[in-house]
Amino acid sequence: MQNTTISKFDNSSDVSSNKQRRVQWLIPLAAVLVGVGVGVKYYFFSPAEDTAIELSGRIEGYETDVGTTVSGRVEAIAVREGDRVQADQTIAQLDDDELQARLRGTQARLDNRQQQVKQARSQIEVIQSNIRETKLNRQQAQDNSQGSIEQAQANLEAATAQLEQAQAQKQEAQAQLKLAKADRDRFQRLWEQGVVPKQRYDQAQTEWESLQATVQARQSAVNAAQRQVNAARGQLRQAKTSNLNPEIFTEKLQGLREQLEQARSRLEAAQADVADAQANKDQIQAQLDDLAITSPIDGFVLDRIAEPGEVLSSGKLILTVMDLDEVYLRGYVPEGQIGKIRVGQPAHIYLDSNPEQPLDATVSAIDNQASFTPENIYFKRDRVKQVFGIKLSIDNPQGFAKPGMPADAEIILDSESTN
């Protein structure tokens, strides 16, 4: 019985010893496995410092300010914050009543100058015709004197008819001018009494000035027609006496040539006036075009500064637009790592909304001077470090990266940077 007891005791002692030996053997094995696991995790899931530099920042973009080039009152704004706009899309309109009134006045002056050009050309044609006629009459003075007289009489009748027509047109314009003056005076009183806006008075003033120009044009036409009548009468007298003295033809041709030179001078002056009036009209039209404000780029409206009804001076802002296809991440890199970064290096940007799908990016700018860590770093010990600001341009934002979003990034280092 004692031997049996001793035998059992010895067996249990051997089992305990074997367990201890197995435990001692498993401890270093577990340590090795843990080390391998940590290494694998570090290798596959943690960015290596010698191949990439991590940073955090915010998505930013390039803002484009859209403003006025002329002063005026905002009549309408077609978009609001967040709306998409296209390049050359009309996004705002300024009031154009004043410019439209100026355009009408300028158009009236242009019409007057163009009428003067027509009259000058008509005079030249008449004079040239008279010169040709005089030369012909000089060759056939004896055989065709009666025909010359009849032609001169017809010219006189035509000139007289033109004079009567010009006088009638002048009287009509004077009557319209009288009515326009009465309207102008009436609206002036109403404006002074506060009944109508100044814009209505200005419109009446412009119409009155336009009709003044028309009356002047009609008077010029009357004067020109009167000169034609006088010339036609002289031609008639010459036609009746041309067969009596050949020298009359010579004197007549000399006078016609002088008239032709004068008419050509008047034509050149009238054409210059037309060009000046046209330039004024084009300038006003350009200003009218500037009242329609368009977006210079495709993008989204970030800020709407002005509202309809506001009176803006030239250069004032109306909207701020940003192109979401041209966004970038603005971040900071510690001073000790900036030497590893170069413009043009590739990078990856991770958005909180989709961290599994990084966006390709490129280092596009590096600050020339270091600065203290921005205040939005939350650890006090990090705020005393010197950092360099960098910009990572996103190659294809795809509409996911929007200004103001926080994001993380990895800058991929090349072999030279890691050495």
Decide if pLDDT at 408 tops 90.
Answer: yes
CA distances from 293 to 69, 72, 289, 296, 374 (A): 9, 12, 8, 9, 38
Contact 213, 254 (CB under 8 A): no
- Provide the pLDDT for residue 133: 86
Decide if pLDDT at 67 tops 80.
Answer: yes
Which range of 18-22, 99-103, 260-264 scores highest in mean pLDDT? It is: 260-264
* 351 SS3 class: strand
Decide if pLDDT at 42 tops 60.
Answer: no
Query: What mean pLDDT is reported for the chain?
Result: 80
Residues 6+ apart with CB under 8 A from 247: none
Angle between helices 198-241 and 145-192 (to 10 degrees): 170
* 415 SS3 class: helix
Q: Kindly state the average pLDDT of the residues 289-317.
A: 89
Give the model confidence (pLDDT) of 120-129 as tens digits. 899 999 989 9
- Provide the pLDDT for residue 21: 44
Taking the C-alpha atoms of 210, 211, 216 and 218 in order, what is their torsion angle to the nearest 10 degrees? 130
Give the model confidence (pLDDT) of 330-354 as tens digits. 999 988 888 899 999 999 999 988 8
Cα–Cα distance, 1 to 336 (Å, whole number) = 80
- Provide the pLDDT for residue 102: 86
- Provide the pLDDT for residue 398: 75
- Provide the pLDDT for residue 145: 64
Give the model confidence (pLDDT) of 230-281 as tens digits. 988 888 888 777 555 667 778 888 898 898 899 899 899 989 999 998 999 9
CA distances from 409 to 123, 196, 324, 337, 412 (A): 82, 64, 19, 15, 10
Decide if pLDDT at 13 tops 80.
Answer: no
Contact 78, 92 (CB under 8 A): yes
Say what percent of the chain tops pLDDT 90: 26
Contact 59, 353 (CB under 8 A): no
Say what percent of the chain tops pLDDT 70: 81
Decide if pLDDT at 18 tops 60.
Answer: no
Q: Kindly state the average pLDDT of the residues 406-418.
A: 81
Contact 128, 254 (CB under 8 A): no
Contact 57, 407 (CB under 8 A): yes
pLDDT confidence band for 142 (50 / 70 / 90) = low
